[in-house]
Structure 1
Amino acid sequence: MAAKPKLYYFDGRGRMESVRWLLAAAGVEYEEVLFKTAEEFQNLIKGGKLMYEQVPMVEIDGMKMVQTRAILRYIAAKYNLYGKDLKEQLLIDMYVEGMRDLYDMIMLLPLALPEDQEKNLGIIAERATQRFFPVYEKALKDPGKNYLVGNQLSWADVHLLELILMVEECKSGVLSAFPKLQEFKARVSKIPRIQKFLQPGSQRKPPMDDAGLEAIKKIFNLQKGLLFKHSSMVLAYF
């Protein structure tokens, strides 16, 4: 029996959460190595396991994989969640890359200064409802179309559900003007493997709280107020 994939990260969402979602959607059990101190992270670097001295890192099929998009593409292709041909893969990539722009804004939100939180939440809600959700609403409008690409579950659908739930955590009611996305959310949430992942006690991580924020600040030497100011530096580690 092949070894379970092993995920190396901190005990929180960050960039690894999309990997957890995709493995869950594929029905793949995995193990996690969750470091709690800067020393544990540095030891991983010193051991030569991190190509760019960054996480996430996933051990799977005898490889130590880094760079989130590379990891996700490999998992999607391995478990038939990446379309049937190059054209479908291109569409999936286009949808996912757009989602990542909004995803990164939400992921970095805990690092914003308290006085900027309301403004940043407003920006996220505006971008979601004016720029991104209309694209996916339009893609789902064809009669009988249940998924974004090829009318079968793909990486793009899994990532879209994850993103919808994250935006709803920032602002409730954001799907009120998007009936197709409401149907999509309800339908995909009921897929047994995904429904299981959404239940309490799964390996899905909760939104970051103050304790979690303090932990990652120590692990990665992050500071408040970096959101939208030095995001490229933050994204290199977080």
Structure 2
Amino acid sequence: MRVLILGGTAEARRLASSLTGLPGVSVTSSLAGRTSTPSLPPGDVRIGGFGGVTGLIAWLRSSGMDAVIDATHPFAAVMSTSAAEACGEVGIPLLMLRRPGWIERDGDDWRRVPSIAAAARVLPHVGQRALLTTGRQTLGAFASLGTVWFLVRAVEAPAPPAPARMVVLLDRGPFTPAGEEALMRKHRIDVVVTKDSGSSAVEAKLEAARVVGIPVLMVDRPAIPAGVRTVPTVEDAVAWVVAAGG
């Protein structure tokens, strides 16, 4: 059974590791190539885009894949939509592996917004010194906010357009609540802007924001493509492959 994993997440790497240990299963992981030093999973790996839905359809047909598991980031909406359309056209099963989103707790002050653009519109009314952790590719949405100072945390240095008043912190999780609290107090952060990724590696900033007593602008996840089966854990995805013939 030939399985394509659309990856780039910790769950995708764990899934590739689990599936490569199954007899009769061949795994290929696909990474978008947005970082210069990605963490590579075991098994075959391809890096780079497919060329849209048409390119993905052609690749799936030429490679003879039997199934696709979308284990991309919860905000990789374009890739997820392309996978749903391509698998439907080719006629092979698609599973989406999506970790659960974060859950608000007592003492949290979350302001949910539907998009990055909405977060940029609301932000000046919520705070003036923001810890921004939405990814370097989203900075353009905040570039016009001249009244807000940003501490931008990213894995790699961002490119323009970007806010004029910002400091870039290059770092990769996991982070600790104590470290996040110290960071917020040092830079006098009064608002956190983040996506609802659900990742445990970066959840510490939410606990720190609760302790410090500052609001969080939480960008909601994009909708899952209609008709796509979804599971929350790597173990569930492995069971799906086994049931499908692995």
| TM-score with structure 2 setting the length | 0.27
More strand by proportion, 1 or 2? Answer: 2
Instruction: Answer with 1 or 2: which has the greater Rg.
Output: 2
More helix by proportion, 1 or 2? Answer: 1
Higher relative contact order (CA 8 A, sep 6+): 1
| TM-score with structure 1 setting the length | 0.28
